[in-house]
Structures are given as C-alpha cells and as structure tokens.
Amino acid sequence: MTCVYVLTGILGLCVGSFLNVVIYRVPIGMSLAKPDSHCPKCGYKLRWYDNIPVLSYLILGAKCRSCRARISPRYMLVEILNALLWLLCAYLFWQRSIVYAAISMIVLSTLICIFFIDLAHMLIFDRFTLTVLVMGLCATFFDPSTKGYEHLIGALAAGGLFLAIYYIAIWVLDKEGLGFGDVKLAFAAGLLLGWKKMLFALLLASVAASIVLLILRKRRGDDTDKEYPFGPFLAGGFALSLLFGDTVIRFYLSMFSL
C-alpha cells in the first residue's frame, strides 16, 4: 500500500495543478488547452519547471518569474488539498473497492472546482454537476456501503427538496433563495451519496453556512438582502459526507443500539 499512497499523492498534486487551470479558465470562457499556461499579469509563458506542483510556488517565492507579480496562495492550496483528499480516498476505500476509490477521487476534485469557482463567481457550471451525476450513477453499482436504491432515493429526495425551496422562495420572497445550480448539484450529489449520507451532508452544509454567514454579516455589516454563494458549503458538506459519512452514521446508530 505504501507504493499506492506515494503514487496517489504525486498524481493528486499533478491533478491539483490542472484544477487550478480549470478554476481560472472556465469562468472566463477560456479553452483548457490553449493558450499555454502563462502569467495573467505579464503574459510570461510558464516553463515546465515553473509548473512543478508546490515546489515551483515555494522556489519562486509566490511570485512570477518574469514580472514578480504576486501569485495567489490558492494555487498551492488547491494542489495540496487535492493530494490530501486523494490520499484519504486511497486510505478509506482502496482495499474495499478500487473503482469506488477512483470515483471518490474524481468527485472530490470536481467539488474543489465547484467550491472555488462558486466562491469567486457565484456560478456552478453544468459540466461539474454532470461529472458528479455520472459518478453518482457509477456509485450505485460500486459503492460498497450503500444499496443502489438508496442512491436513487437520495437523488429524488435532495433534488425534490431543493427544487421546492427554489420555487417557494420565488413565490414567497419574490426572489431566488437558491441558485438553480444548487438544485441540480443537490440532485447529482444525492445520487452519489444515497439518502443517509445526503442528510448528513445537508446538515453539515446548513450548519456551516448559518455560522459563517452570521459572522460575515456581523463583521461586515452586510445588508440582509446581500446574496452569498451556497455552493461552497454544499461542496464541503458533500466531500466530508463522502469521506466520513458512513463512519459517523454507524457511530450515531450505535448510540441507540440500532
């Protein structure tokens, strides 16, 4: 397993580097293939040695080699976060189901993109939701801990709940309480997680959103009508539930001897 962890960590860092390209380019409509990676300030074309995950960032002192413009720490954070999440997938799922471990890695990388893009642009692109949906379909066959029908119930319950909230908010408040991207993501994640883990994910997302947004409103003095993205909280809740939902649910049920 040591070899698996080493390879998983290295590949996770490399994929994390690609995720930075996705997070930057998708919201502004740029191709992921062209042009080559470059400094957004001066246009300097990055060489291969400027693109070594984490190491290049540290060696360059978080600055462009050419113009010395500051490079956001998000780039290194995404690389490290993706590698750590992939290692967790290998640790938790590899010996039970290699396929499910791979599914989980793909989903978590997708959730990283959703988190950072929605945080900056308040947009959840369909390509990411579709990826989660396809992986959810795969999970109905390869998830070792959840029955296939539980995945379908999770999709219908989560999608139906969010759709109801979406239309009720429009009817009562005359505005969107949720973005429709959140509705589609909830349906896809419900299919991925199954209804039990989906409930846990929604609990995590709701509690985290309530606490964080309350603090932000008090510190910034924001108006109550100000909109905040809910996608980052959903992505975080889905990720934690995917990784630890089974363990938490088993512990909770054992407290009641169920």
| pLDDT tens track for 19-77 | 999 999 999 999 998 888 888 888 888 888 888 999 999 999 999 988 998 999 999 99
- Spans of all domains in the chain: 1-95, 99-258
| pLDDT tens track for 208-223 | 999 998 888 888 776 6
Q: At what angle do helices 231-255 and 180-193 cross, to 10 degrees?
A: 30
Q: Is the dihedral of CA 231, 235, 237, 241 positive or negative?
A: positive
| pLDDT tens track for 67-102 | 998 999 999 999 999 999 999 999 999 988 999 999
Q: Looking at this protein, which amino acid is placed at residue 155?
A: A
**pTM for the structure as a whole:** 0.94
Q: Of 191, 197, 210, 177, nearest to 237 (Cα)?
A: 197
Q: Tell me the C-alpha distance between 89 and 137, whole Å.
A: 18
Is residue 233 over pLDDT 70? yes
- Which residue is listed with tokens 């589609």? 184
Q: Tell me the C-alpha distance between 124 and 224, whole Å.
A: 23
DSSP assignment letter at 44:
P
Residue 96 pLDDT: 87
